[in-house]
Amino acid sequence: MSEVELKLQLPSGATARVERELGDAPRRTRMQGLYFDTPDRRLAAAGLALRLRKEGRRWVQTLKGGAAHDIERAEHNVVVAASPGAAPQLDVARHAGTPGGEALAAALGADGASALVARYRTDISRRVRVLRARRGCVELALDLGFIAARPAGVVDAANASSNAADAVERRWPVCELEVELQGGSPLAVTEVARRLAVRHDLWLDTRSKAERGDRLARGLAADSAVPAVKAQALKLRKGMQASEAWQAVLRNTLAHALPNWSEVAGGHAAPEALHQLRVALRRLRSGQRLFEPWTHLAAMMPSEPVAALFRALGTQRDQDALAAGLQADIDAALAALGEAPLSLSALPEVPPWSDRERATHGLVFFDLIGASMAPCVSAPDLARDAVPDNAPDNVPDNTTVADPALSAGIGERLQHWHAQMRRDAKRFAALDDPARHRLRKRLKRLRYAIEFSAGLFPKRAVARYLERLSVAQERLGEFADLGVAQRAYRALVADEPRAWFAIGWLAEHRTTVLRDCADALGRLRQVKPFWAD
């Protein structure tokens, strides 16, 4: 079987409101769980979670599998007999004959089962209400408690039911609401979760209890930053329907965005996680532009909320990039002259989001998850009722043309963007800075669209094109960072005369970067388009 659920985090002060949402007399259950893995984390690496949990008076052994960010995960539960006051023994054979059991056996190998140990535990008080919604029936479960692990990564199974905590045990507080499907359409989960997020300022968090417990077992604190999640390759297949390809793009970008969103919204993300979230959102917007000819598909994605979140992340990203790049270079140049570093305190502070802002920004993900699951109409018309401003000039408004094959339709979009790139690259030296910034965004859009559709075209030709495109994009990114730095140091000159040194250094560096941009764009103009082969 599988579970379909979303997990919502509660801000401080929202617990009482959510408890009232559950009603006067929901069921209450104390759940004390032990999670098992090998010392070398074979199950965590395979995306599996194996636990024994005491739920009230009964024990249940559970195996879960699948990416933590997915709304649907495989789950297999077995009720286990136990002696009073004692935890039962774990037995992986209880999951034999199931898809999850096969994945478990593969992950453990020949000797792994004997190496399993309890690595972390949970102690949760759960209140439950079953709610009938428009599209189905969902269970609301409010979980309050903690996840705990010792730095050594092993907990004592015999003491799992004890209230006494080890003095060196690390804990991660749990205050979250799970919305799980009981029957009906999975869209019931996204719609109910979105409504509750709006009502109580809740935010979507894809980090499972198993993922958080694994971090504690590895010696990380709840507020430790972890490596960012990067995009995975997507291979669309020839012969795919446009609707199938579009949903594959949505799922791919959600897998990129959601883990990074969870870290950013949690308030302890590394700068790279924020950057990767912005990359995921830009990839998502590029995907929508790629599928604009299929108007009913592109319209399924809420473009403005995505853009609003992208903008909200922009200022902090600029500061992080400046501190890690040009600011360090300028400080090194000053140090060579015997001067102290220049402080960029004049940069505006980026205040943390309020509970309402965080919840509002997170609403876009409920809509995107819903769009990734919604059924699509087959064989759509290529309606141009609202022609985008960059559409080919020979397509009149308010006309309908035949639906092309996926490769042909995408090839038309790539050709149009390629022509735009060639035109701007040819006159790059004459462009003003805003036009150069627009060219950079167009290169990103072209790159992400090609990465999405690479499986539809010759592999080597795609690789040649992407190689030159990536270099040009990187050079234009360096130019964009120069603009951020110039604005930051100009704000210092009134109070700090040494800022003129930085401005002069940047002006000289600008000349070099512009030359590199022109060279990279020239090589890109010469590359042969692959979509016409």
Of 439, 482, 470, nearest in space to 322 by CA: 482
- Rounded Cα distance between 451 and 457, Å, is 11
Enumerate the β-bridge partners of residue 128.
Answer: 27, 141
DSSP secondary structure of 340-362: PPPP-TTSPP-PPPPHHHHHHHH
Mean of the per-residue pLDDT values of the chain: 86
Extract the tokens encoding 445.
């859009």
* CA gyration radius, the chain: 26
349 and 461 in a single domain? The answer is yes
Over residues 129-182, the pLDDT tens digits come to 999 999 999 999 999 999 999 876 667 654 554 444 445 889 999 999 999 999
154 and 255 in a single domain? The answer is no
In the chain, what are the helix, strand and coil shares in percent, each to the nearest 5? 50, 20, 35
271 and 142 in a single domain? The answer is no
Extract the tokens encoding 252.
């791919």
- Asked if the structure places residue 216 within a domain, the reply is yes
Extract the tokens encoding 513.
């970067």
pLDDT of residue 32: 96
- Asked if the structure places residue 237 within a domain, the reply is no
pLDDT of residue 133: 92
How many structural domains does the chain have? 2
256 and 213 in a single domain? The answer is no
Arithmetic mean of pLDDT, 421-431: 96
- Residue 476: give its domain's CATH number: 1.40.20.10
pLDDT of residue 487: 86
DSSP E strand stretches across 391-431 = 400-401
384 and 487 in a single domain? The answer is yes
Arithmetic mean of pLDDT, 370-396: 44
One-letter amino acid for residue 127 of the chain:
R
pLDDT of residue 113: 87
- Asked if the structure places residue 283 within a domain, the reply is yes
- Asked if the structure places residue 165 within a domain, the reply is yes
254 and 400 in a single domain? The answer is yes
pLDDT of residue 300: 66
Q: Is 279 helix (H, G, I), strand (E, B) or coil?
A: helix
Arithmetic mean of pLDDT, 483-494: 87
pLDDT of residue 153: 64
- Residue 126: give its domain's CATH number: 2.40.320.10
- Indicate the pLDDT class of residue 295, thresholds 50, 70 and 90: low
323 and 458 in a single domain? The answer is yes
pLDDT of residue 533: 63
- Indicate the pLDDT class of residue 76, thresholds 50, 70 and 90: very high
380 contacts: CB under 8 Å, gap ≥ 6: 242, 243, 294, 295, 296, 297, 403
Whether the pLDDT of residue 468 is over 90: the answer is yes
202 and 255 in a single domain? The answer is no
143 and 99 in a single domain? The answer is yes
Of 224, 241, 271, at which residue does a domain stop?
224
270 and 131 in a single domain? The answer is no
Arithmetic mean of pLDDT, 425-440: 95
Residue of 15 and 164 predicted with greater confidence: 15
Over residues 234-244, the pLDDT tens digits come to 988 888 888 88
Over residues 199-220, the pLDDT tens digits come to 999 999 999 999 999 999 999 9
Whether the pLDDT of residue 301 is over 90: the answer is no
Question: What separation in angstroms does the CA of 497 have from each of 213, 339, 391, 415, 488?
Answer: 51, 12, 49, 50, 14
Q: Which domain holds residue 254?
A: 250-526
Whether the pLDDT of residue 351 is over 80: the answer is no
Over residues 305-345, the pLDDT tens digits come to 888 898 888 766 666 667 667 888 888 888 898 888 888 75
One-letter amino acid for residue 132 of the chain:
R
pLDDT of residue 388: 36
259 and 294 in a single domain? The answer is yes
- Rounded Cα distance between 506 and 487, Å, is 11
- Asked if the structure places residue 230 within a domain, the reply is no
End-to-end CA distance of the chain, in Å? 45
pLDDT of residue 157: 55
DSSP secondary structure of 90-104: P-GGGGTTSHHHHHH
- Rounded Cα distance between 100 and 293, Å, is 40
- Asked if the structure places residue 239 within a domain, the reply is no
440 contacts: CB under 8 Å, gap ≥ 6: 473, 476, 477, 479, 480
- Indicate the pLDDT class of residue 492, thresholds 50, 70 and 90: confident
- Decide if 222 contacts 252 (C-beta within 8 A): no
Whether the pLDDT of residue 231 is over 90: the answer is yes
pTM of the model: 0.85
- Decide if 363 contacts 527 (C-beta within 8 A): no
Arithmetic mean of pLDDT, 223-230: 93
167 and 282 in a single domain? The answer is no
- Asked if the structure places residue 48 within a domain, the reply is yes
**Over pLDDT 70: what percentage of the chain?**
86
- Asked if the structure places residue 137 within a domain, the reply is yes
DSSP secondary structure of 130-179: EEE-SSEEEEEEEEEEEEEE-TTS---GGGTT-S---TT-EEEEEEEEEE
pLDDT of residue 495: 85
